[in-house]
Amino acid sequence: MRALATAVALRQVTGGAAVRVSAGILIVITIAALLGPSLSSHDYFSMNLAERFEPPTLENARFFGTDDLGRDLFVRTMSGTRVTLLVAIVASFVSLVLGVAYGAVAGYAGGKVDAFMMRIVDALYALPFIFLVILLMVAFERNFLLIFVAIGAINWLDMARIVRGQTLSLKEREFVAAARLIGVPPVVIVFRHIVPNLLGVVVVYITLTIPQAILVESFLSFLGLGIQEPQTSLGALVNGGVSQMERAPWLLLIPATLLAVMLMSFNFLGDGLRDALDPRLKAR
């Protein structure tokens, strides 16, 4: 089923121009973020007060100019993109592990266990997570690990619901019944037989989770509560650009545009993949 779903998805998806363009943009941005900093002769933290506020130019490889401390904006933007992508991918992975495990167990257990587990999810849905995350950032030292866990914890609820729904229908299938008949323990059935069959759906939802994680990370960094100096991320760069926009608008425009383009590409890609996998969801 997974192979078929993937094949259908691939064929339908590659037909959509928006999806292909988005995927292309994301690949280019990822490669630039990975390689950009090491190709430039500048680094992301060295200050140079003699070269503050230099507008973008090809001279001396100042493609994006310099900021208020004379740091190279091209390298800072690329390493900021790297941090943003890293946080988003790891956080999405956290939500994937939590959501898939929780949803698959609830769906397979069924009955009262399922009802109880889903009630908990409903209760957590009503929590104002973003404010609790801000509280967490205030109370504890802001480190990468905490940001990963906090953002992952926000997004696992949707994943748990989707995975549970899929598990409910998968567990009625013959191969699961066969496994049960020959005495395979429930834990093994869930993780060896059901979870691998969920991956098609999960991959699609991950492409929709990543932009949400990017959004949360940038939001926190924008408020000065996320990634801390001298490390940077796109949200932190936008924040820095806001305070300098009258003097050096490129400090705001470049990171803001890049962030918007990335989010848009992820959303188009995720939407396209979802429509290809399950046309019934198209309208939503």
Partner 1 sequence: MLRFALLRILSAIPTLCLVVVLAFLMVHAAPGGPFDDERVLPPENARNLAAAYHLDESLPRQFARYVSGLLKGDLGPSYHYRDHSVSELIGAAFPLSLQLGLLSMAVALAVGVSAGVLAALRRNTISDRLITGMAMTGISVPVFVVAPLFVLVFAVELRWLPASWSGDASGRRFLLPVVALALPQIAYITRLTRASMVETLSSDYVRTARAQGLSLFSIVRFHALKPALLPVVSYLGPAIAAVLTGAVVVEIVFGVPGLGQLFVRSALNRDYTLVLGVVVFYAALIVILNLTVDLLYGFLDPRTRNP
Residue of 86, 134, 146, 149 that binds partner 1 (CB under 8 A):
134
| Shorter beta-carbon distance to partner 1: residue 89 or 264 | 264
Residue of 55, 185, 196, 249 that binds partner 1 (CB under 8 A):
249
Residue of 5, 268, 274, 275 that binds partner 1 (CB under 8 A):
268
Using rule CB under 8 A, residue 238 touches partner 1? yes
| Shorter beta-carbon distance to partner 1: residue 104 or 251 | 251
Using rule CB under 8 A, residue 215 touches partner 1? yes
Using rule CB under 8 A, residue 242 touches partner 1? yes
Residue of 109, 222, 227, 236 that binds partner 1 (CB under 8 A):
222
Using rule CB under 8 A, residue 237 touches partner 1? no
| Shorter beta-carbon distance to partner 1: residue 116 or 140 | 140
Token pair of 37, please?
């900093």
Using rule CB under 8 A, residue 27 touches partner 1? no
Q: Annotate the chain with three-state secondary structure.
A: CHHHHHHHHHHHHHHCHHHHHHHHHHHHHHHHHHHHHHHCCCCCCCCCHHHCCCCCCCHHHCCCCECCCCCEHHHHHHHHHHHHHHHHHHHHHHHHHHHHHHHHHHHHHCHHHHHHHHHHHHHHHCCCHHHHHHHHHHHCCCCHHHHHHHHHHHHHHHHHHHHHHHHHHHCCCHHHHHHHHCCCCHHHHHHHHHHHHHHHHHHHHHHHHHHHHHHHHHHHHHCCCCCCCCCCCHHHHHHHHHHCCCCCCHHHHHHHHHHHHHHHHHHHHHHHHHHHHCHHHHHC
Using rule CB under 8 A, residue 223 touches partner 1? yes
Segment contacting partner 1 by CB under 8 A, of 62-70, 82-90, 139-147, 194-202: 139-147
Using rule CB under 8 A, residue 49 touches partner 1? no
Minimum distance from residue 56 beta carbon to partner 1 (Å): 16
Residues of the shown chain interacting with partner 1 in the complex, contacts defined by CB under 8 A: 123, 126-128, 130-132, 134-141, 211, 215, 218-219, 222-225, 235, 238-239, 241-242, 245-246, 249, 252-253, 256, 259-260, 263-264, 266-268, 271, 283-284
